[in-house]
Amino acid sequence: MEVTLRRTTALVARNNNTLWRPTTLAAAATATLDVSNTTNSRPFSLSSLSRPPPNYPGHVPLTRIEKAALAIGSGVMSLRDPRRGDLIAAFAEATATPYFIYRLRDAMLASPTGRRILRDRPRITSSSLNLPHLRSLPPTTVGGTYVAWLDREGVSPDTRAHVRYIDDPECAYVMQRYRECHDFYHALTGLPVVREGEVALKAFEFANTLLPMTGFSVFAAATLKRSERGRFRETYLPWALRNGLRAQEVINVYWEEQLERDVGELRRELGVEPPPDLRNIRKKEREERRRQKEQEAAGQSAGTAV
């Protein structure tokens, strides 16, 4: 199990930039346990267990042991380095089954809009959204707010990893849709991509989607600075839980159809109130620290002159 864990997480890290390509994860795990492969069945650990074929392009079928190893390894390593999006993505997929991703899929099936999204299966990319057109929209629209947030934070909708470890094709799309809508949640709430903002948004997402990865990510609050931890505990965590629980299922928003709508109107419809402007708060803190340093330097210079 320890060797499988180490090799599984190493393969996830090595495939950081690979999208929708079958990996050698299964073969590595099989070789670790010293089990011979066959051309047709590729058994894992017991002769009675055979690995099924992929269910969609890029799908990597995993046994329960492999999936547990992937969850533990990617979870531990992503806590050590929260910037590793590939590990966070792998952990999300390994822990979403057997219940949580099906619950989210059922929430979409229970909504007329969610059912249309599942039928149409749209993808969110810079080309599908036509970012130049969004930049021409008024800043108060959903599209204008979204693209302004992308430009301010320096991020792109084209960087989301493709789902590989969820067996059910429809549920795999649900995870992909959640992943690609993440930046819309940022824009809707105004939270920046700094670690403090990401933790606050993950708390909101956990209350709204119940995906284990989002709840696990909240533990990254322990890595924040003392002042940031206090602000998260007193302001942003209560906001996230209150709004995430009372808001409609944000997975059911057909963002592509809301781009020219007033963003305030959509927030009210969903039941989401924007939190205090975190970027502005952090800017004021930096200015205050700089002012204090300048005053201290001026005081030291005056003392030296005397």
Task: Confirm whether residue 186 is marked as ligand binding.
Answer: yes
The stretches of the chain forming alpha helices (DSSP H) are 2-14, 25-32, 64-80, 85-96, 100-109, 112-120, 126-129, 131-135, 142-153, 169-189, 195-209, 212-217, 226-231, 237-246, 263-270, 278-305
Tell whether 183 is in a known binding site: yes
| Overall size of the chain counted in residues | 306
Residue 151, marked binder: no
For residue 123, the Cα-to-chain-centroid distance in whole angstroms is 16
Q: Is 59 annotated to bind ligand?
A: no
Which among 182, 179, 191, 125 is positioned nearest to 152, based on CA atoms? Answer: 191
Binding residues for Zn(2+): 182-183, 186, 198
Binding residues: 182-183, 186, 198
